[in-house]
Amino acid sequence: MRTVELAGKSVPVIGQGTWRMGENPEARRDEVAALRLGIAQGLTLIDTAEMYGEGGAESVVGEAIRGHHDEVFIVSKVYPHNASRQGTVAACERSLKRLGVGCIDLYLLHWRGQYPLSETLEAFERLREAGKIGRWGVSNFDVADLQALANPDCATNQVLYNPQARGIEFDLLPWSREQRLPTMAYCPIAQGGQLLSSPVFQQIAERHQVTPAQVCLAWVLRQEGVIAIPKAVSPQHVRLNAAAANLRLSAQDLAAIDQACPPPLRKQPLSMV
Ligand code: NDP
């Protein structure tokens, strides 16, 4: 599996998302099995958040990584409404308990909220000194937010990125690359939606004998410093996602995607889901 440096560690360029996991007890067994299968396939970076299933996803992750703590890199996130000086620490401690780990490798502010960034950062620093988090970062920050943050310790920015949502290519992505700030791309396969049945993705997939979702992942990963975190519960999807790390798109493929999903020509508001 191709790797990239994130928060001082070497992680796979493809990880596993967990949004929508931990919401339905009947799905839990399959979710745990999917994450374990992903770990076995090399998808050892797992992205979660206290928001997902209101703690349910973290608890699914906790079960899936039992016995595998040394192999995985866990990313979790604090709700903005919890991101005060005290609230961040308390939220992190609840997440640690649900995950069953002593340390979250990378802890993110989920999006910018009502608390001053300085308060959240103070809490992140306290958590880091106490060994409860490895590093910290942010999510859904645009260039202006990162400039307001102005902190070289920030380890990543996690944002929406796929061929249908290319706005960050205009400014955020080049800016982040210049700052050597890794980008984590969420919804990298556009939530498994219509994009996957579009003719251009189907034709490219046929050419490479892969699937349109794998084309999407290879497209997201064509750039340095980008990590993709697709979410999959279906075992077949997990296997395909892991295999997508080996797919390289040609100039012809990229030109066809540019025609179907044009790159931004001007600044666009940051897309979020
Ligand atoms: P994704 O783009 O990862 O799409 C997930 C959907 O695609 C699921 O329905 C899944 O189905 C399906 N799928 C997965 N793999 C394949 C495949 N190979 N072929 C066809 N379909 C496939 O969307 P998400 O919204 O889940 O985003 C990914 C992750 O990013 C989240 O889970 C979360 O961890 C993170 N995220 C972060 C946000 C933030 O604000 N920071 C916001 C949104 C997401 P199935 O599950 O049935 O296999």
pLDDT for residue 137: 98
Q: Identify any residues that bridge with 108 across adjacent strands, giving them in sequence order.
A: 77, 137
CA of 165 to the centre of ligand 1 (A): 14
With 0.75 as the threshold, say if the pTM is over it: yes
CA of 58 to the centre of ligand 1 (A): 16
- Whether residue 164 is contained in a domain is answered as yes
Catalytic residue flag (residue 115): no
Mutate to test the pocket of ligand 1, among 184, 189, 201, 229 (most ligand atoms within 8 A of CB): 189
- Whether residue 240 is contained in a domain is answered as no
Nearest of 234, 232, 228 to residue 215 by alpha carbon: 228
pLDDT for residue 251: 98
Q: Is the distance from the beta carbon of residue 27 to the nearest atom of ligand 1 less than 6 Å? A: no
- Whether residue 56 is contained in a domain is answered as yes
| DSSP string computed for 23-47 | S-GGGHHHHHHHHHHHHHTT--EEE
Give the closest residue (by CA) to ligand 1 atom 18. Answer: 237
Q: Tens of pLDDT along 67-119? A: 999 999 999 999 999 999 999 999 999 999 999 999 999 999 999 999 999 99
pLDDT for residue 25: 97
**Dist CA 205 CA 110 (whole Å):** 33
Nearest atom in ligand 1 to the alpha carbon of residue 187 is 2
Q: Tens of pLDDT along 210-243? A: 999 999 999 999 999 999 999 999 999 999 999 9
How many folded domains does the chain comprise? 1
pLDDT for residue 258: 98
Give the closest residue (by CA) to ligand 1 atom 3. Answer: 230
Nearest of 164, 158, 161, 162 to residue 141 by alpha carbon: 158
**Dist CA 49 CA 273 (whole Å):** 14
Task: Give the other-Cβ count within 10 Å of 185's Cβ.
Answer: 24
- Whether residue 110 is contained in a domain is answered as yes
Q: Tens of pLDDT along 134-147? A: 999 999 999 999 99
CA of 254 to the centre of ligand 1 (A): 22
Q: Is the distance from the beta carbon of residue 136 to the nearest atom of ligand 1 less than 6 Å? A: no
**What domain range includes position 91?**
10-189+226-231
Q: Is the distance from the beta carbon of residue 140 to the nearest atom of ligand 1 less than 6 Å? A: yes
Across the range 11-33, mean pLDDT stands at 98
| Rg of the chain, C-alpha, whole Å | 18
Task: Give the other-Cβ count within 10 Å of 271's Cβ.
Answer: 16
CA 216 from chain centre, in angstroms, equals 15
Task: Return the DSSP state at 162.
Answer: B
pLDDT for residue 208: 98
Nearest atom in ligand 1 to the alpha carbon of residue 196 is 20
7 near 15, Cβ under 8 Å?
A: no
- CATH number of the domain at 76, please: 3.20.20.100
CA of 177 to the centre of ligand 1 (A): 24
Nearest atom in ligand 1 to the alpha carbon of residue 190 is 2
Mutate to test the pocket of ligand 1, among 18, 202, 237 (most ligand atoms within 8 A of CB): 237
pLDDT for residue 187: 98
**Dist CA 95 CA 197 (whole Å):** 37
Residue 73 phi/psi, 5-degree rounding, is: -120, 115
- Whether residue 239 is contained in a domain is answered as no
- Whether residue 177 is contained in a domain is answered as yes
pLDDT for residue 183: 98
Mutate to test the pocket of ligand 1, among 186, 196, 210, 273 (most ligand atoms within 8 A of CB): 186
- Whether residue 243 is contained in a domain is answered as no
- Whether residue 205 is contained in a domain is answered as no
